[in-house]
Amino acid sequence: MTDSAVVHVLTRDPALRRALLAHLEADESLPVAAGSDPAEVKPGDVVVAPSSDCLPERCAEFAARGARVIVLATLPAEAERQRYLAAGVFAYLPMAIGSRPLPVDVRSAMAAPLPDPAAAHHDWLLLTKHGLVLLFLGSHPAVTVTEIATAIGISPDRTRRILNDLAAKGFITAKKAGRSTSYTINPDARFIHPAMAHVSVRGVIDATRPPAAGP
C-alpha cells in the first residue's frame, strides 16, 4: 500500500454509493476518496464498484492503470467471476453490504502487490471486439445494443462505437425507428484485410452460427 493510495467507490446509484461509503468509512483506517470521478483513479488505488457499473473491459482498464479492483455482484455467477478475474480484478464478491466485512477485503487489496498490466489482458481472443460484435449480430438479428454489450463483455457506449464503425465500412446497415436503431448484416461484404478479402461476411457467419436446438 502506498501512502497516497485511496479507495474509490464508483457507482451511478446514489443510494448504493452512500451505503458503500458508510460501510467503508466505519473503518477509520481506510482513506476513502470523497469524489467519484474514474479519471482520478491512480496506481495503487482501490476501486469498489458493482458489476453493473464496471464491466470486465472497464475493470481491465483500471487494472492496466495499476489499480486494484473489487467487483460486487448482486447475483454472483461463476462464469461472470471468471471473466472478471481474467480482466485482472482483485476480487469478485457478493453484494452483501450488511454482512460481509468489505473493509477487510479492501485492506487486503491495498496491501497486495500492484497489478501487472499485462495480466489484465492475458485472456487474449482470436477475434477483435469488432469481429465478435459482427458475428453475434449475425446470429442474433433482433438483438439490442445492451444485449450485445453483455454478451461480448464491453460497455454499451463502446458497442455503439463499434456498430458505427461496422456501418461506416458497409458490414451492417443501421436503420432508425423512432428512438431505437436496428442493425442488419450485409452478408455480401468482404473483409478488409487483403489476406481475408476473398471471404464474405455470410461465409463466416454461417460457419460460426450456433447449431439449432434439437426437437
Cα 40 from chain centroid? 19
Contacts of the segment 71-74: beta carbons below 8 A, 24+ positions apart: 72/48, 74/50
Q: What is the pLDDT of residue 54?
A: 92
Q: What is the pLDDT of residue 98?
A: 54
Q: What is the pLDDT of residue 3?
A: 57
Helix residue spans in the chain (DSSP H): 14-25, 56-64, 78-86, 102-111, 129-139, 145-152, 156-168, 201-208
Domain boundaries, the chain: 7-121, 129-208
Q: Which residues contact 188 (CB under 8 A, 6 or more apart)?
A: 200, 201, 202
Strand partners, 177: 180
Q: Which residues contact 100 (CB under 8 A, 6 or more apart)?
A: 93, 94
Q: What is the pLDDT of residue 1?
A: 44
**Core vs surface per residue 139-171: b (16+ CB within 10 A) or e:** eeeebebeebbeebbbeeebbeebbeebbeeeb
Q: What is the pLDDT of residue 75?
A: 87
Give the span between the Cα atoms of 108 and 97, in whole angstroms. 17
pLDDT values of the chain reduced to their tens digit, one per residue, 215 residues = 455 889 999 999 999 999 999 888 888 888 999 888 898 999 889 999 999 999 988 888 888 888 899 999 988 888 888 888 888 888 898 887 555 578 888 888 777 776 555 554 445 556 788 888 888 888 887 888 888 887 777 778 888 899 999 999 899 998 887 777 888 889 888 887 777 778 888 888 777 666 555 55
Is the pTM of the predicted complex or chain greater than 0.75? no
Choices 3.30.413.10, 3.40.50.2300, 3.40.50.2000, 3.60.15.10: CATH for 7-121: 3.40.50.2300
Short-list 83, 39, 29, CA closest to 65: 39
Q: What is the pLDDT of residue 116?
A: 56
Q: What is the pLDDT of residue 158?
A: 85
CATH code at 129-208: 1.10.10.10
